[in-house]
Structure 1
């Protein structure tokens, strides 16, 4: 249950990431990404510096997976989402983001040899279908009228980036200490994002980050999605694997819808509520079967 609670908290934080990202979308995308990882680095540095120094030899010997995790999950996933929103609609982004669980499961089947029971597959299909139902407000014409552009291509890159991050976490994260690794990955992300942010500053001028709404927005992004959610998501992947963890991401439009209702005053339709129920049912079916499988070895052992 601990892993599932971690995943629920992660999705709630990620839904806040979408809402806050919309609120400060007048800032350039790589400036947002660079600001959030810089703040996250300053926050985690006092906590993880001693671990980073202690495990220096591990970071050096395992530098390839460490670099891969830093560039995919920490540096470029959210930067690519922010960049895609400059060219395409939030609906297109949300629909394509709902493909992450399916892509993750297919990759896990091929490379991690993970297996899903028929009931879990039903849960996956329900959660994906329900997520798209919420995003489109039950109108399949929205899907039919989707026009692809450069923003959608960038979003495909974001999906591949997050799936790659999930695979790397499953294979390699257990080799590293939690907080020291986050310090190192955030430092790498800062160096990777700085040139892109510098180009934005050169072209558009120095961004005004001192407005209250922007300061609060960057503070949220730097503390919650960049530190807390990453730690919780990584822990959950170690426990239940990338396939089950990814299915929880289909709850994103549900929690985003709830957040928009509570904080932005947006209306929620009955069709969206039905879609939310379908998503929750699908996630439940995906997880309940896995729990029953975990209980069996303990019963046999006791006998």
Structure 2
């Protein structure tokens, strides 16, 4: 049975949103890097049977391309997820998800600085709006918070996390074509697990080892291992293949919306007016910061077709 790509992409965003909820629900129960470790151990167990043969056939590729694989593991698996799970120990899952929505804007800035990609005037307006919206949210709409730099540390950690994710996206852009999709992802996870293990051991020594026999903890780990880490990514790849990355990227704007709904229903978080106003400004800014780039790509494709004809 063929599933419509819009349904696949919407489901993927819902699964991604659940990651914020589970991370927040484990606040004070599972240390952040330990939670990241358990997430990717669970995801690897789920995905490994699907791609074990491909992994075994590409030993030479993994050895040759170890540097980009290491870069993907450090930025996307270890540092981003460590920051995400650490941030929700200090801020709401709603705030973390809205800050996370800034990722395309940060990626555009880093693309300009690292890859020398052009940024149009409209994109610049979008970038300024996005950061203005985030500043409004993390300052709770207070000028005193801005002038005294007394921001919520959780919001700042999440901002740092999306910088790591944007770096991860740039590495993907430059190197992902070298790797088979699922096996490349699993190899990145395995390297991430190896890096996360000693960090987690430090957490166990200093904070304590979590009670992994608790039924709710097991369900939470299974969820973040299977749904946002495996099924969501598979749905994302399928959806992108059907409608293209430009249209598919718009669906990421659903993450803060779904996260807000889930946080209010499941965690009992309050959705404040400054989150509502700031979230709208952020999403509109993200739309502007990516709109011109998508239009330019479409124009370039049409130009190439006209030249070819």
Could you give the per-residue CA deviations for residues 224-275 of structure 1, whole angstroms, max 9, x where no partner exists?
3333455638997xx769xx96x98777544432332343343434444333
Residue 179 (str. 1) matches residue 182 (str. 2): yes
Is the 2:24–2:88 Cα contact (8 Å) retained in structure 1?
A: no
Structure 2: tracts of 5 or more residues without a match: none
Cα distance between partner residues in 1 of 2:211 and 2:19: 20
Is the 2:48–2:186 Cα contact (8 Å) retained in structure 1?
A: yes
Cα distance between partner residues in 1 of 2:237 and 2:117: 18
Cα distance between partner residues in 2 of 1:275 and 1:180: 39
Alignment TM-score, normalising by the size of structure 1: 0.78
TM-aligned CA deviation for residue 56 of structure 1: 1.9
**Which residue is equivalent to 2:58?**
55
Cα distance between partner residues in 2 of 1:5 and 1:108: 30
**Which residue is equivalent to 1:69?**
72
User: What is the number of residues matched between the two proteins?
Assistant: 296
**Which residue is equivalent to 1:120?**
123
**Which residue is equivalent to 2:289?**
286
TM-aligned CA deviation for residue 154 of structure 1: 6.1
TM-aligned CA deviation for residue 295 of structure 1: 3.3
Change (3 A) 1:235 1:64: farther
Cα distance between partner residues in 1 of 2:7 and 2:152: 37
Could you give the per-residue CA deviations for residues 83-120 of structure 1, whole angstroms, max 9, x where no partner exists?
4555x545996787676555433321122121232222
Matches for 1:166-205 after TM superposition, within 5 Å: 166-205=169-208
Could you give the per-residue CA deviations for residues 27-86 of structure 1, whole angstroms, max 9, x where no partner exists?
122221111111011001011111111222111111111111112211232123334555
**Which residue is equivalent to 1:106?**
109
Structure 1: tracts of 5 or more residues without a match: none
**Which residue is equivalent to 1:82?**
85
Is the 1:137–1:269 Cα contact (8 Å) retained in structure 2?
A: no
Change (3 A) 1:279 1:156: closer
Q: 1:42 pairs with 18, 41, 45, which one?
A: 45
State the secondary structure of the residue aligned to 2:170.
helix
State the secondary structure of the residue aligned to 1:187.
helix
**Which residue is equivalent to 2:26?**
24
State the secondary structure of the residue aligned to 2:70.
helix
Change (3 A) 1:52 1:94: same
Residue 218 (str. 1) matches residue 221 (str. 2): yes
Aligned CA RMSD, in angstroms, stands at 3.9
Cα distance between partner residues in 1 of 2:259 and 2:22: 11
